[in-house]
């Protein structure tokens, strides 16, 4: 099956006045931020701050109460979840979303099915992440945590997105592996002009590679600044970032 | 000894039919976590349609193909019109919907075609093969049953393992939310899944119809047997369903031959209970935890 004919958008991802409720609980409250192509914005904050909900709202998994999310010229909110990737947004969910019952290769192929991606596109991912090639025929459930994270990022890349939403990619990974993932994210933003929204608990390593940092608390943006500025802000670190 | 061989051969033939019903149930369970209690009614209905087609003068094969196609359509309709409405609701809702559909289909079939069971022709001769002067309890029609079920199962396997559609369907079954994020139209995949499952069910219907006759309630035991076979095989595994079907076919054939046909349904229930108590994950379950 080929793509639906509509063009994936490129351009700036703009989140404007976004609010998301779970019943009476406002999980995302009036969030405004933007990410340009080739840039990484880290979204930081404590457990329950609303980071995951922010990403899930952007990819239409939960409905927004108010606000807008635009990619280039196009409004994303109100799309069917299946169409979000067709509009150029790839979401790597919390817990990585690797499908353990499928092989590594099947997981990767799945990422490109919607646009009828040719097999060579997988080779590109294997070149970027050689560890996956060796495990291509193994069930994804047999991969290590780091390999799974690479697989889920690789799978997102097969979709050729212009925006990458990453939900805690370093969760549960050894520091060395986590650092490699962060490097990879930086490289992808630079080399492919991806706009990356990177949700992280690990503020220090996220800010080390990010261009900008946004801190959420109880769903609200409490800081939005250059990453280096944020990393140097003693009060911020004390209050929200924990390093 | 010849009796044992006869019962074994007979068990293999009936077992493949149970395997087909089990496969229909497993395909649905894997993708929607719903036990389709209406499957017995659905295959009854499509077999009635085939019967009507054949009685109107068409050949057996036209009836056969019509049964499979109407299964495909009925399965898709059931998913679109009923199951989709209970998606995400508590599991009991789906149970009630499928049971309600079973009752509805049986009532409607009774209204259209009457409640008296009618005969249904076999595809091939049901006179047992002559082996060295003795007639065994396995006929050309049994060969057909075994081969066509194996053939359909192999085709399904090839579809699931070897095609992009199959990959989408498996992804939708294992991880619907992730599949949607990757652009898979999960709703469509569910419709296709129900259609295929119902096709396999209606195949079982026409295969078993010559021996049970066609009537609104004639296929109720087949559903119980198919469900038992599916549980034997672990509900989640198509291979398990196939093996479970044959094991159950053999067991029930021996019970029927040595202890009497009246005990068959009871035996199936005993086997079902025993498996649920001792190995709820099925005979072939490993220690792997079950996804719930
Ligand atoms: N499905 C849901 N139903 C109701 N409330 C929810 C749901 N998901 C999240 N919440 C609530 O919304 C708030 C934000 O949760 P969210 O998962 O977005 O936080 P988070 O920043 O991603 O946290 P973590 O760092 O633990 O992943 C929390 O108060 C949470 O309890
Ligand atoms: Mg989270």
- Tell me: the pLDDT tens digits for B264-274? 989 999 999 99
Nearest ligand to the CA atom of A58: 1
Domain boundaries, chain A: 13-241
Q: Is the CB of A51 under 6 A from ligand 1?
A: yes
Q: How far apart are CA A183 and CA A180, in angstroms?
A: 5
pLDDT per position as a tens digit, B138-153: 999 999 999 999 999 9
Percent of chain B with pLDDT over 90: 85
> Among all ligands shown, which has an atom nearest to the Cα of A202?
1
pLDDT higher at A230 or B281: A230
- pLDDT of res. A3: 42
CB < 8 Å to A99, chain B: 171, 174-175, 178-179
Q: Are A151 and A104 in contact (CB under 8 A)?
A: yes
Contact with chain B for residue A85, Cβ under 8 A: yes
Q: Report pLDDT digits (tens) over B158-208.
A: 999 999 999 999 999 999 999 999 999 999 999 999 999 999 999 999 999
Rounded distance between C-alpha atoms, residue A119 and residue B161, angstroms: 17
Nearest CA distance, B258 vs chain A (angstrom): 43
Task: Give contacts of B180 with chain A, Cβ < 8 Å.
Answer: 81-82
Query: What does DSSP say about strands A25-35 and A195-199: parallel, antiparallel, or unpaired?
Result: unpaired
Give the predicted TM-score (pTM) of the model.
0.89
- A200 CB under 6 A from ligand 1? no
Residue A5: pLDDT above 90?
Answer: no
B186: nearest Cα among A187, A81, A121: A81
| Residue B1: pLDDT over 80 | no
Per-residue pLDDT tens over the stretch B17-58 = 999 999 999 999 988 889 999 999 999 999 999 999 999 999
B208 CB-side CA count, 13 A: 32
- Mutate: best of A57, A94, A113, partner B, most B CBs <10 A: A113
d(CA A192, CA A41): 16
What are the strands, taking DSSP E only, across chain B? 130-131, 134-135
Q: 3-state SS of chain A?
A: CCCCCCCCCCCCEEEEEEEEEECCEEEEEEEEEEECCCCEEEEECCCCCCHHHHHHHHCCCCCCCEEEEEECCEECCCCCHHHHHHHCEEEECCCCCCCCCCEHHHHHHHHHHHHCCCCHHHHHHHHHCHHHHHCCCCEHHHCCHHHHHHHHHHHHHHCCCCEEEEECCCCCCCHHHHHHHHHHHHHHHHHHCCEEEEECCCHHHHHHHCCEEEEEECCEEEEEEEHHHHHHCHHHHHHHHCC
A213 lines ligand 1 (CB under 6 A): no
User: What is the DSSP-derived secondary structure letter of residue B131?
Assistant: E
pLDDT, mean over chain B = 93
β-pairing, B134-135 vs B130-131, is antiparallel
Give yes or no for residue B136 having a pLDDT over 60.
Answer: yes
Ligand whose nearest atom lies closest to the CA of A43: 1
A108 lines ligand 1 (CB under 6 A): no
Give, as one character, the DSSP assignment of residue B240.
H
Mutate to test the pocket of ligand 1, among A53, A64, A91, A240 (most ligand atoms within 8 A of CB): A53
Neighbours of A33 (CB within 10 A): 18
Q: Which residues of A touch B186 (CB under 8 A)?
A: 82
Instruction: Determine phi and psi for A120, rounding to 5 degrees.
Output: -60, -25
Poorest-pLDDT segment among A75-84, A180-189, A226-235, B73-82: A226-235
Tell me the two tokens of residue A36: 């340009």
Give the start-to-end residue ranges of the domains of chain B: 21-217
What is the rounded CA–CA span in Å between residue B189 and residue B163?
13
Q: What percent of chain B stands above pLDDT 70?
A: 97
Task: Return the pLDDT at B286.
Answer: 55
CB–CB contacts below 8 A, A to B: 63
Confidence band, pLDDT 50/70/90 cuts, at residue A8:
low
Q: How far is Cα B202 from Cα B74, in angstroms, rounded to an integer?
A: 10
- Label residue A144 by pLDDT band (50, 70, 90): very high
Chain B: closest CA distance from residue A76 (Å) = 14
What are A14-56's pLDDT values in tens digits? 999 999 999 999 999 999 999 999 999 999 999 999 999 999 9
- What per-residue confidence (pLDDT) applies to A7? 55
> Which residues does chain B have within 8 Å of residue A90's beta carbon, measured at their own beta carbons?
181
SS3 state of residue B124: coil
Residue B237, pLDDT score: 87
Name the residue at shortest CA distance from atom 11 of ligand 1. Answer: A27
What is the distance in angstroms between the Cα of B185 and the nearest Cα belonging to chain A?
6
Q: How far is the CA of A102 from the centre of ligand 2 (A)?
A: 25
Q: Do the beta carbons of residue B160 and residue B170 sit within 8 Å?
A: yes
Structure confidence by residue, pLDDT tens digits, A168-188: 999 989 999 999 999 999 999
What contacts 24+ positions apart, CB below 8 Å, involve A204-207? A204/A231, A204/A241, A204/A243, A205/A170, A205/A178, A205/A179, A206/A42, A206/A44, A206/A170, A206/A182, A207/A42, A207/A44, A207/A231, A207/A241
Q: Is the CB of A47 under 6 A from ligand 1?
A: yes
Rg (CA), chain A: 17
Res B291 pLDDT > 50: no
SS3 (DSSP) at B134 = strand
- The residue whose CA is least distant from atom 25 of ligand 1 is A47
Taking the C-alpha atoms of A224, A229, A230 and A235 in order, what is their torsion angle to the nearest 10 degrees? -110
For residues B213 and A113, is the Cβ–Cβ distance under 8 A?
Answer: no
**What fold, for A13-241?**
Rossmann fold (3.40.50)
Q: Can you read off the two tokens belonging to residue A30?
A: 């009036």
A113:B170 CB<8 A: no
Residue A205 distance to chain B (closest CA, Å): 27
Establish whether residue A53 lines the binding site of ligand 1, counting it when its CB lies within 6 angstroms of any ligand atom.
yes
Q: Which of B177, B179, B183 sits opposite A61 (nearest CB)?
A: B177
């Amino acid at each position: 099956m080929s793509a639906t004919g509509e063009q994936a958008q490129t351009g700036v991802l703009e989140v404007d006045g976004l609010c998301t409720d779970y019943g009476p609980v406002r999980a995302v409250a009036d969030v405004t931020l933007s990410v340009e192509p080739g840039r990484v914005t880290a979204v930081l904050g404590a457990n329950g701050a609303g980071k995951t909900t922010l990403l899930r709202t952007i990819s239409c998994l939960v409905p927004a109460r108010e606000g807008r999310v635009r990619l280039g010229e196009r409004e994303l909110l109100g799309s069917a979840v299946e169409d979000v990737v067709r509009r150029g947004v790839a979401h790597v969910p919390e817990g990585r979303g690797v499908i353990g019952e499928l092989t590594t290769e099947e997981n990767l192929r799945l990422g490109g099915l919607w646009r009828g991606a040719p097999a060579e596109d997988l080779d590109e991912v294997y070149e970027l992440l050689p560890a996956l090639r060796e495990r291509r025929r193994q069930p994804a459930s047999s991969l290590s945590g780091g390999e799974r994270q690479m697989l889920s990022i690789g799978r997102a890349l097969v979709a050729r997105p212009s925006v990458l939403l990453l939900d805690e990619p370093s969760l549960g990974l050894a520091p060395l592996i986590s650092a490699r993932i962060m490097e990879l994210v930086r490289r992808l933003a630079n080399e492919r002009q991806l706009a990356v929204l990177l949700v992280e608990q690990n503020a220090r390593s996220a800010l080390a590679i990010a261009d900008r940092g946004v801190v959420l608390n109880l769903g609200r943006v409490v800081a939005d600044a250059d990453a280096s500025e944020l990393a140097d802000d003693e009060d911020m670190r004390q209050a929200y970032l924990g390093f | 000894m010849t009796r044992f061989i006869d019962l074994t051969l007979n068990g293999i033939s009936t077992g493949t039919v149970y395997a087909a019903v089990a496969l229909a149930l497993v395909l649905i369970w894997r993708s929607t976590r719903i036990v389709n209690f209406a499957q017995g009614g659905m295959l009854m209905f499509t077999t009635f349609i085939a019967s009507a087609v054949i009685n109107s003068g068409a050949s057996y094969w036209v009836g056969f193909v019509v049964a499979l196609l109407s299964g495909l359509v009925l399965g898709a309709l059931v998913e679109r019109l009923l199951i989709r409405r209970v998606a995400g609701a508590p599991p009991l809702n789906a149970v009630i919907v499928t049971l309600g559909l079973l009752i509805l289909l049986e009532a409607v079939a009774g209204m259209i075609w009457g409640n008296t069971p009618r005969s249904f022709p076999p595809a091939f001769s049901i006179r047992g093969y002559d082996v060295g002067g003795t007639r065994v309890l396995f006929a050309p029609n049994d060969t057909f049953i075994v081969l066509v079920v194996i053939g359909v199962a192999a085709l399904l396997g090839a579809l699931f393992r070897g095609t992009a559609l199959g990959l989408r369907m498996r992804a939708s079954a294992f991880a619907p939310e992730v599949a949607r994020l990757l652009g898979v139209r999960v709703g469509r995949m569910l419709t296709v899944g129900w259609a295929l499952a119902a096709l396999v069910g209606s195949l079982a219907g026409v295969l078993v119809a010559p021996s049970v006759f066609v009537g609104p309630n004639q296929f109720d035991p087949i559903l119980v047997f198919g469900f038992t076979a599916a549980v034997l095989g672990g509900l989640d595994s198509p291979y398990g369903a196939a093996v479970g079907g044959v094991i159950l076919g053999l067991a029930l054939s021996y019970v029927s031959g040595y202890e009497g046909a009246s005990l068959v349904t009871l035996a199936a229930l005993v086997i079902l209970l025993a498996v649920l108590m001792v190995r709820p994950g099925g005979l072939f379950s490993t220690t792997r935890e079950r996804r719930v």
